[in-house]
Each structure stands twice: as C-alpha cells, then as structure tokens.
C-alpha cells in the first residue's frame, strides 16, 4: 500500500511542472488551430479558383507543405527567423511552422469536402437564382463541412500531437517538461507515461467533442 502512496506522492510532485508545460501546449493549440482553420478556408478558395495561374502554384505550395516533416518546418522557422532579423521566441517559431503546415492540411481536407458535394447542388443553387459566390457559401460549403467533420476532428488531434515537436527546439511544452522532470528527479521513463496520459486525455476530449458535433449535425440534416 505504501508503494502506491509514495507513487502518488511523487506524481503529485511532478504536477506543477506538468501544468506549466500543459498550458504551453494548450497555448500552441489555441494559436495554431484558429489560424490554420481560417487560413485553410481562405487557401482552399484560392485553390478552387478557375484560372490555372492561381490554382497551380497554390496546389504546389499545399502539396509541398503536406509532404515535408513538421519538425523540419519548425527548424526552418527557428533558424531562419534570426536570419531575417526577427527575434522570435522558440514558442512562436513552432507555432508559425505548425500553423502554416496545418493550413495546408486543412485546405486539402476542405477541398475534399467540396469535391464530395454533388455537382447537382451547383445547378440547384444557380437555378434558384443565386450568384456563384452565394452558391458556394450558402449551399456548397455547409454541406462540405458536414461531410468532412470527422476528417477535421482527426486533423485537430494531429495538430495537438504535433505541438509536442517544439520540444525539439527547447520549448518547454508538456513533452519537454516531462524530460525536465525526469532529469531533475530520480524518475525515468515513467514520467512520460504520465505525459502520454495527459495527451490521451486531451485527444480523447477532442474526439468526443467532434463525435458529439457529428451526431448533432446529422440530426439537423
């Protein structure tokens, strides 16, 4: 019994350090997610434009961002920013890199959603006299979002997990705080089990929220 008590004791000693790291992780998610969502929406509209001079380079940029490792993008911003004269803190370097990459990911998810909406919906919209832009925003987009809600939920989970990579440039998020606790105390890999549990809690809550949203959305349609 006493071993459990000691274990709980040690773990509770870790918690303050974790809570700081956890807040950093949450801050990252809080910065990157809205940015990626809004910019992804803007980007997909550019991607879906008619003229090739517009969508072709957009396609290239999106595909490029989707096919390079996240950590490498973080390193680009981290080492590149000082060269451009900015004194960006590691946290914001990571945030920028993750936000930009997830903009590309989400743009592609949105594009898939739009493609999945039946072409006949366009005709229906035009037939009742809506202008193309209105058709897009009032008819196509809502249906597209509904279709890819699960995929969006998935991407959010991926984003939460990607924030852990800032540990590689010394930003004390949840993951790195685990490493620090490990170095300070006598503990070893067990610390990371707790770190994993924190992430699991975060991603599970996120998934549940999206499941609820999907159910709610299905009821309305």
Partner 1 sequence: MDIATQNLGYLLKAALVTLQMAVATVVFSFLVGTALGVVAALGGSLARRLLMAYVFVVRGVPVLVLIFIAFFGLPRLGIEAPNYIAATIALVIYFAAFVTDIVRGSILAVPRTTVEAGKAIGLRRGQILLHIQLPLGIRLALPPLVTTASIAVKSTSYAAIVGVWELTYASREVVERTLAAFEIFFAVMLIYFCICYPISLFASYLQRRSTFA
Q: Is 80 in the site for partner 1 (CB under 8 A)?
A: yes
Between the two ends of the chain, the Cα-to-Cα distance in Å is: 54
Mask 81-100, x = binds partner 1 (CB under 8 A)? --x-----------------
Measured from the CB atom, the residue of 48 and 130 that comes closer to partner 1 is 48
| Residue with smaller CB distance to partner 1, 142 or 170 | 170
Q: Name the CA radius of gyration of the chain, rounded.
A: 21
Using CB under 8 A as the binding rule, whether residue 195 contacts partner 1 is answered as: yes
Per CB under 8 A, 189 contacts partner 1: yes
Q: Could you say which of 98, 164, 177, 181 contacts partner 1 (CB under 8 A)?
A: 164
Contact call for residue 64 and partner 1 (CB under 8 A): yes
> Which of 168, 161, 162, 191 lies closest to 178 in space, CA to CA?
191
Nearer to partner 1 among residue 35 and residue 59 (C-beta) = 59
- CA gap 174, 164 in Å, rounded: 7
With respect to partner 1, which residue has the nearer C-beta, 92 or 136?
Answer: 92
For residue 137, the 8-state DSSP code is I
Q: Which residue has the tokens 């809550």?
A: 205
Q: By the 8 A CB rule, do 191 and 178 touch? A: yes
Smallest separation (angstroms) from partner 1 to the CB of 41: 22
56 binds partner 1 (CB under 8 A): no
Residue 114 CB coordination number (10 Å): 19
What burial class does residue 168 get, using C-beta atoms within 10 Å of its C-beta: 0-12 exposed, 13-18 middle, 19+ buried?
A: middle
- Contact between 150 and partner 1 (CB under 8 A)? no
106 or 135: CB nearest partner 1: 106
Binding of residue 167 to partner 1 (CB under 8 A):
yes
Could you say whether residue 71 binds partner 1 (CB under 8 A)?
yes
Cα gap 58→104, rounded to integer Å? 10
Instruction: Tell me the C-alpha distance between 106 and 112, whole Å.
Output: 10
Residue 67 binds partner 1 (CB under 8 A): yes
Given candidates 70, 103, 155, 177, which one binds partner 1 under the rule CB under 8 A?
70
Measured in residues, the chain has a length of 221
Interface pick for partner 1 out of 58, 103, 155, 175 (rule CB under 8 A): 175
Cβ atoms 143, 119 nearer than 8 A: no
Q: Candidates 27-35, 47-55, 67-75, 208-216 — which segment interacts with partner 1 by CB under 8 A?
A: 67-75
């Amino acid at each position: 019994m006493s071993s459990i008590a000691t274990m709980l004791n040690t773990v509770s000693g870790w918690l303050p350090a974790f809570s700081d790291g956890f807040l950093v992780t949450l801050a990252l998610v809080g910065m990157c997610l809205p940015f990626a969502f809004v910019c992804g929406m803007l980007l997909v509209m550019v991607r879906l434009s008619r003229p090739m001079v517009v969508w072709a380079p957009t396609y290239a940029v999106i595909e490029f961002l989707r096919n390079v490792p996240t950590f490498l993008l973080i390193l680009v911003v981290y080492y590149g920013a000082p060269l451009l004269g900015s004194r960006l803190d590691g946290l914001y370097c990571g945030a920028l890199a993750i936000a930009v990459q997830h903009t590309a990911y989400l743009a592609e998810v949105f594009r898939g959603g739009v493609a999945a909406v039946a072409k006949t919906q366009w005709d229906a919209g035009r037939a009742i006299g809506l202008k193309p832009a209105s058709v897009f925003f009032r008819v196509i987009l809502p249906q597209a979002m509904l279709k890819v809600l699960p995929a969006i939920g998935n991407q959010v989970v991926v984003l939460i997990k990607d924030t852990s990579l800032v540990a590689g440039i010394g930003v004390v998020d949840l993951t790195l705080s685990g490493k620090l606790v490990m170095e300070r105390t006598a503990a070893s890999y067990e610390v990371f089990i707790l770190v994993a549990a924190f992430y699991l809690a975060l991603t599970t809550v996120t998934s549940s929220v999206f499941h609820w949203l999907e159910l709610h959305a299905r009821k309305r349609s």
